[in-house]
């Protein structure tokens, strides 16, 4: 399908200077959200992640088991939204969290570089879903974005989306560090949404992407979620992303259906901030 021509229906991206100014404003506003209630919401939005070459059935089982036991050990704190792992461990996590409401997220599509055949990407995603993944995280093709092959990049997302039922959540990772400019990051975000993404995800450029989500919603009426990943280490980091979403998209986006945080070490830090003492649970 042709997607690139729809980009002309949207206003251009802000300049880098405008984005920096908005980040400075929101960073100051985020101080109001340095409190336990916000930290609890941020904790509940975490996709608890282990994506290591050292992962094994044993280590992932233990990781997932601890997450499942959290419900009993900390009943006053809402648990993380999901556990995020490589496709080969989807079934392993499913066995460990069986009987809990926790969702299973799998990276896929040749993660993290996405530099493989589209057929391989689609098959990997299909296999992860077949094994029990509730949510799939893929990387938008950076090379195609950098060379202006926008339709091709979006069509990859469309093909992968077709490998899963409508109730499976698709998160598309925008490699903002590689795309660099607000213009390309905005285009990548919009193209992903055009092609069926339920979330767009980044380690930076949250302001640009949330603006794209807002503008897309105003034109289509479809709410797409935002996931922050890679830059969240402290409770204050979580509160900053919470505030970006709150300021640009509004409080109605501050649910785990529309806001996620990809994290591993941040889980302990946010939990410590909630409890007021150092906790190393994971």
- Given a cut of 90, whether residue 213 has pLDDT beyond it is yes
- In the predicted model, what is the mean pLDDT of residues 137-147? 98
- Give me the catalytic one of 47, 137, 151, 237: 137
Write down the pLDDT at residue 103: 98
- Would you call 227 a catalytic residue per the annotation? yes
Write down the pLDDT at residue 96: 97
- In the predicted model, what is the mean pLDDT of residues 140-169? 97
The fraction of the chain above a pLDDT of 70, given in percent, is 100
Q: What confidence tier does 1 reach under pLDDT thresholds 50, 70, 90?
A: confident
Containing H/E element for 82?
strand 82-85
Phi and psi torsions of 229, nearest 5°? -150, 145
Average pLDDT, the chain: 97
Write down the pLDDT at residue 271: 97
- Given a cut of 90, whether residue 27 has pLDDT beyond it is yes
| Token pair listed for 10 | 């949207």
Per-residue DSSP letter, 77: S
For residues 7 and 191, the answer to whether their CB atoms sit within 8 Å is: yes
Write down the pLDDT at residue 54: 97
Q: pLDDT per residue over 224-234, tens digit each?
A: 999 998 779 99
- Give me the catalytic one of 187, 198, 201, 237: 201
The fraction of the chain above a pLDDT of 90, given in percent, is 96
Write down the pLDDT at residue 224: 98
Write down the pLDDT at residue 231: 79
Write down the pLDDT at residue 261: 97
- In the predicted model, what is the mean pLDDT of residues 106-118? 97
- Give me the catalytic one of 151, 171, 227, 237: 227
Containing H/E element for 199?
strand 199-202
Integer-rounded Cα radius of gyration of the chain? 18
Phi and psi torsions of 225, nearest 5°? -85, 165
Shortest CA distance to 82 belongs to which of 256, 228, 255?
256
Buried b (16+ CB within 10 A) or exposed e, 146-185: eeeebbbbbbbbebbbebbeeebbbbbbbbbeebeebebb
Q: How many residues belong to the chain?
A: 282
Q: pLDDT per residue over 157-205, tens digit each?
A: 999 999 999 999 999 999 999 999 999 999 999 999 999 999 999 878 9
Residue that has been written with the tokens 């503008």 in this structure:
215
Write down the pLDDT at residue 263: 87
Write down the pLDDT at residue 42: 98
Shortest CA distance to 215 belongs to which of 204, 206, 224?
224
Q: pLDDT per residue over 113-130, tens digit each?
A: 999 999 999 999 999 999
- Would you call 66 a catalytic residue per the annotation? no
CA–CA gap between residue 212 and residue 226 (Å, rounded):
10
- Beta-carbon contacts of residue 18 (< 8 Å; ≥ 6 apart): none
For residues 274 and 77, the answer to whether their CB atoms sit within 8 Å is: yes
Residue that has been written with the tokens 């992968």 in this structure:
160
Q: How far does CA 97 lie from the centroid of its chain?
A: 21
Is the full-model pTM beyond 0.75? yes
- Would you call 40 a catalytic residue per the annotation? no
Q: pLDDT per residue over 59-93, tens digit each?
A: 999 999 999 999 999 999 999 999 999 999 999 99
């Amino acid at each position: 399908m042709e997607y690139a021509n729809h980009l002309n229906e949207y206003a251009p991206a802000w300049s880098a200077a405008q984005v920096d100014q908005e980040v400075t404003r929101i960073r100051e506003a985020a101080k109001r959200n340095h409190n336990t209630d916000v930290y609890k919401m941020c904790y509940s939005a975490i996709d608890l992640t282990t994506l290591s070459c050292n992962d094994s059935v044993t280590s992932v089982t233990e990781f997932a088991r601890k997450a499942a036991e959290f419900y009993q050990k900390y009943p006053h704190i809402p648990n993380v939204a999901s556990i995020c792992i490589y496709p080969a461990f989807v079934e392993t996590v499913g066995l460990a969290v069986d009987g809990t409401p926790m969702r299973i997220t799998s990276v896929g599509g040749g993660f993290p570089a996405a530099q493989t055949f589209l057929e391989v990407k689609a098959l990997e995603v299909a296999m992860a879903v077949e094994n029990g993944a509730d949510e799939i995280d893929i990387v938008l093709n950076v090379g195609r974005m950098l060379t202006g092959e926008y339709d091709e990049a979006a069509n990859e997302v469309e093909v992968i989306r077709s490998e899963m039922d409508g109730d499976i959540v698709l998160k598309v990772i925008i490699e903002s560090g590689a795309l660099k400019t607000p213009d390309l990051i905005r285009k990548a975000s919009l193209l992903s949404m055009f092609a069926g993404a339920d979330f767009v995800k980044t380690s930076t450029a949250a302001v640009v992407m949330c603006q794209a989500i807002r503008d897309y919603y105003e034109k289509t009426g479809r709410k797409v979620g935002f996931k922050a990943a890679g830059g969240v280490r402290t409770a204050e980091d979580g509160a900053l992303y919470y505030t970006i979403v709150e300021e640009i998209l509004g409080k109605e986006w501050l649910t785990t259906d529309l806001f996620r945080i990809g994290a591993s070490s941040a889980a302990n830090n946010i939990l410590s901030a909630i409890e007021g003492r150092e906790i190393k649970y994971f």
